[in-house]
Structure 1
Amino acid sequence: MSNTLSIRQSTPDDIQQIRQFILELAIYEKAEHEVEASEADLHNTLFGEGATAHCIICENEGVPIGFAVYFFNYSTWQGRNGLYLEDLYVSPQSRGLGAGKALLQHLAGIAVDNNCGRFEWSVLDWNKPAIDFYESLGAKAKSEWLGYRMDGETLINFAKNGQ
């Protein structure tokens, strides 16, 4: 099977496809019910004024087969930006073509081009295929840090009342 992979920055015309990839990823992660983002939300946060998130699309022979959403964070210890990968997804029928590695390599290039001190992401602890894949590329799990999150009503209540 011949394939021609290419990676490009997304455009507003990709919003429907991006949302579809997000839904497919959520289904894979058994969290479809957690997807709140509408196409309008994605348009505003990826392409609106002041947007800080970015998206790249991987295509095989011109057909979108995957995507990655990323943003820049900051390390006070390094005094440099870092690149954080929020989501990476390749359609099941296109896995094994090298798209995941190509997306990660492209993002690593963006990190290097922007003088980032690190490139980070999170993976669900039960996602052994992804963990094995990332480790095969030389990525290391961060065992000394725990991720914390505040969202929804907890976030709103804490911002208003401190509890």
Structure 2
Amino acid sequence: MVNHPSNALTIRPAARSDADALLTLIDALAAYEQLDPPDAQAKARLVHDGFERTPARFEVFLAFDGENAQDASPLGYAIVFETYSSFLARPTLYIEDLFILPDARRKGVGSVLFSHLAAEALRRGCGRLEWVCLEWNTLAIGFYEKRGAVHLDDWRGYRLTASQLETLPLSPRVITSSGTPNG
């Protein structure tokens, strides 16, 4: 747990007991981004993958007003996980979500949480901190650029959904992790 007395904020890792608060924040992020929130099955997977699985698939950091973070409602959260850069030969801390409730914005909460993530990346020996941002989210874009983040014009993000993955033809020469041919 990290206390920031100058801002009266506490940043701490989420625990299983924070799952309901996290799901509420994720719903708020979905509403802000004008996306459908996770359904009941996705929420169950989020709880399992973040709090019940070993190792967890991701980590959550929560931001609270004041020092008594156990009894307060979080003002925001970040979900992170490590990837790896073959060129740097170092891990990358990837920010999947960084969200501050609207009433808590422009009060330093995002700055403190983001600084915590930067310190966490350095603590882990990461070569970089990465994330994506929606094009229309000018508030977030300004926030990141103010901190020196660079928009990567030369890179494009791509995605295949689970249903698309299931329709991809698989080569019969592929050997699965169990050592058997696939196909």
Compute the TM-score of the two structures, normalised by the length of structure 1.
Answer: 0.91
**2:112 aligned residue:** 102
Contact 1:8 1:56 in 2 (8 A): yes
Gaps of 5+ in 1: none
Structure 1 CA distance for aligned equivalents of residues 135 and 13 of structure 2: 29
Q: Which residue matches 1:87?
A: 97
Please, what is the CA RMSD of the aligned residues?
1.7
Q: Which has the higher contact order (CA 8 A, sep 6+)?
A: 1
Q: Which residue does the alignment assign to 1:149?
A: 159
What is aligned with 1:53?
A: 58
Instruction: Quote how far apart the aligned CAs of 1:50 are.
Output: 2.3
Structure 1 residue 118 displacement after superposition? 0.4
| 1:3 Cα deviation after fit | 5.5
SS in 2 for 1:140: coil
Q: What does residue range 39-78 of structure 1 map to in structure 2 within 5 Å?
A: 39-47=43-51, 48-61=53-66, 62=69, 63=72, 64-78=74-88
Q: Please tell me whether the aligned partners of residues 7 and 108 of structure 2 are also in contact (alpha carbons under 8 angstroms).
A: no
Q: Which piece of structure 1 moves more, 62-71 or 38-47? A: 38-47
Deviation at 1:10, TM superposition (A): 0.3
Q: Secondary structure at the match of 1:51?
A: coil
Deviates most, 138-147 or 59-68: 59-68
Cross-structure match for 2:3: none
The structure with the largest helix share of the pair is 1
- The one-letter code of the counterpart of 1:97 is K
In structure 2, what is the Cα distance between the partners aligned to 1:119 and 1:40? Answer: 28
Q: Which residue of 2 aligns with 1:23?
A: 27
Match of 2:16 in 1: 12
Contact 1:16 1:39 in 2 (8 A): no
| Aligned CA distance change for structure 1 residues 3 and 119 (closer, same or farther; 3 Å) | closer
CA contact (8 A) 1:15 1:39 kept: no
SS at match of 1:145: coil
Give the equivalent residue in structure 2 for 1:125. Answer: 135
Task: Kindly state the Cα deviation for residue 32 of structure 1 after the two structures are TM-superposed.
Answer: 2.1
How many residues in Structure 1 have an aligned counterpart in Structure 2? 159
Largest Rg, 1 or 2? 2
Q: TM-score, normalised by structure 2?
A: 0.82
Question: For residues 78-105 of structure 1, what are the alpha-carbon distances to aligned partners after superposition, in whole Å with 9 as ceiling and x for unaligned?
Answer: 0010100000111111111111111111
**Distance in 2 of aligned mates of 1:3 and 1:86:** 25
